[in-house]
Amino acid sequence: MIMKHRLIISALAVAFVTAAAVTVFLVVNESTPNSLAEPVLDPAQQSAVPGASMNRGAAAADQSSTGSSPGRGLQPSTPLDPEELELGDNPDYPTLESRLTEMHARREHQSFKPDQVLAAIRQPAAWQSDDSVAEQMDLPDEDRYDGRTFIRFNALKVETLMPGDTMEIPIEQANSIYQMVVDEVEDHRDGSITWRGHLQDFNEENQVMITQSDGVTYAGIFTPDAPYTIEARGDAGWVVTTGTLFKGEEEPLPIPVPDIAESRASH
């Protein structure tokens, strides 16, 4: 009986020693990085290891998509190459570089930053309503409260437009968002440029006309609801039913196309 107990105790001791040895082996191997695997570094170690952040950036770039929409898949750290960046929505201006070239041709003495142009292209419209704009504008009360919509305006969005492009035309008074199709762009060679187009799904031509020069924008828009006028100086402007501008007139006059040069001289 004593011999039997000794054999059992010896067997348990061997099993215990074996289990301990296996545990030590696993712990040691688990804490030792595999030479084929990339070690996981904390932020301090990553900054101390040359090329670590570069490798991660390259891996992120490989995983990103390069679709046809403007800037799709573009990582913040990825250098912007206008010549290679395909926009894909207008076959006549397929890359950001082709648009920048045309924009520079129109505005010979003005520079455009590719990242800002790309951001403007991504915006569906050139303006959005913003009641706070009213406080920036020097208007008499009869104009301030005549039903006009005050807007935050992005002139660069208009500058990016090429024939064949589309842009949203939000008209809050009509509770509608129209689609402008750009038909032509005219450089008047005096610092002003006019974009002419029509509203998608309507037959009439020249329903939209936008003229810009030196931070001043005027636009006339014919919609099925009513004609509208837009004026913006810098990023502050308004949209109003054209007839409202001619208070006291028996009949609304046609959409005005102001002479921007005269407007600048009067301000």
pLDDT tens, residue by residue, 62-103: 433 333 334 443 444 456 676 667 777 899 999 999 999 999
Beta bridge partners of 101: none
Asked if pLDDT for residue 143 goes beyond 70, the answer is yes
Task: Report d(CA 174, CA 177) in Å as an integer.
Answer: 8
3-state DSSP call for residue 197? strand
Residue 96 burial by Cβ neighbours in a 10 Å radius (0-12, 13-18, 19+): buried
Asked if pLDDT for residue 126 goes beyond 80, the answer is yes
> pLDDT, tens digit, for every residue of 30-72?
443 433 233 344 444 443 333 333 333 333 334 333 333 344 4
pLDDT value of position 86:
75
> What's the average model confidence in pLDDT over 203-231?
91
pLDDT value of position 241:
94
Percentage of the chain modeled with pLDDT above 70? 60
pLDDT range class, residue 259, cuts 50, 70, 90: low
pLDDT value of position 154:
98
DSSP letter for 262, please: H
Which of 3-7, 214-218, 247-251, 255-259 is predicted with the least confidence, judged by mean pLDDT? 3-7
Q: What is the 3-state secondary structure (H, E, C) of 14-61?
A: HHHHHHHHHHHHHHHHHHCCCCCCCCCCCHHHHHHCCCHHHHHHHHHH
> What's the average model confidence in pLDDT over 149-170?
97
> What's the average model confidence in pLDDT over 144-154?
95
Asked if pLDDT for residue 122 goes beyond 60, the answer is yes
> What's the average model confidence in pLDDT over 14-38?
37
Asked if pLDDT for residue 20 goes beyond 60, the answer is no
pTM: 0.64
Higher-pLDDT residue of 52 and 134 is: 134
pLDDT range class, residue 186, cuts 50, 70, 90: very high
Task: Report d(CA 6, CA 12) in Å as an integer.
Answer: 10
